[in-house]
Amino acid sequence: MKMRTIETGNLEETQKLGEQLGSHAEENMVFLMKGIIGAGKTTMTQGIARGMGVRKTVSSPTFTIQKIYHGTSMDLYHIDAYRLEGIEQDLGFEDDFENGGLTVIEWSEFFPGILPEEYLAIEIRPTGDTAREIVLEAHGAAYEALLEEIQ
Ligand SMILES: Nc1ncnc2c1ncn2[C@@H]1O[C@H](COP(=O)(O)OP(=O)(O)OP(=O)(O)O)[C@@H](O)[C@H]1O
Ligand SMILES: [Mg+2]
């Protein structure tokens, strides 16, 4: 397992990091995001989307659970599992992991389905008003290669 810790000082820097990940993401990849309310998960996903060539502005999918955005070469499946806490039922979301696109899950600890064996874990920790410590953990060779692309 390969790990990188990156500090950002404002939301733009977090989005830039997301943009790098989005631009190098490959089809069927899964990013699992953790971090308290307001940590910056959706903000970072906005950058990921931009890196994928999504033109629409990504907004929080809390009430819809999942939103799909069309990128240049693949789609972004943006899931927010916050409202799924405690739900044991299999909602069939994992079908999406082989959707030919990139799946990003906020509040992945509350995701009720089976998570993939290989994924990129993204944990965003607020360390100040606008300062964040972002821990990237690559689980699987493709994700380790992805981390190498990050500057
Ligand atoms: N360095 C930073 N990185 C990301 N967001 C930042 C940063 N500094 C300040 N912010 C602000 O923090 C907030 C992050 O909100 P965001 O909706 O992205 O959080 P979230 O983790 O998705 O929360 P939720 O759990 O409610 O979905 C935004 O208002 C953003 O402008
Ligand atoms: Mg959010």
Domains of the chain: 2-84+94-148 (3.40.50.300)
* Ligand 1 binding pocket includes 64 (Cβ within 6 Å): no
Nearest-10 Cα torsion for 36, 41, 42, 47: 160
CA 97, CA 116: separation in Å to the nearest integer?
A: 8
User: What is the structure's pLDDT at 112?
Assistant: 84
* Ligand 1 binding pocket includes 58 (Cβ within 6 Å): no
Neighbour-count burial for 93-105, b at 16+ CB within 10 Å, e otherwise: bbebbebebbbbb
Q: Mind listing the pLDDT tens digit for each residue in 118-150? A: 999 999 999 999 999 999 999 999 999 999 999
* Ligand 1 binding pocket includes 37 (Cβ within 6 Å): yes
Q: What is the pTM of this model?
A: 0.96
The mean pLDDT of 96-116, rounded to a whole number, is 91
CA of 149 to the centre of ligand 2 (A): 25
Ligand that comes closest to the CA of residue 127? 1
Q: Which residue has the higher pLDDT, 97 or 13?
A: 13
* Ligand 1 binding pocket includes 101 (Cβ within 6 Å): no
Q: Is the pLDDT of residue 95 over 80?
A: no
CA of 53 to the centre of ligand 2 (A): 20
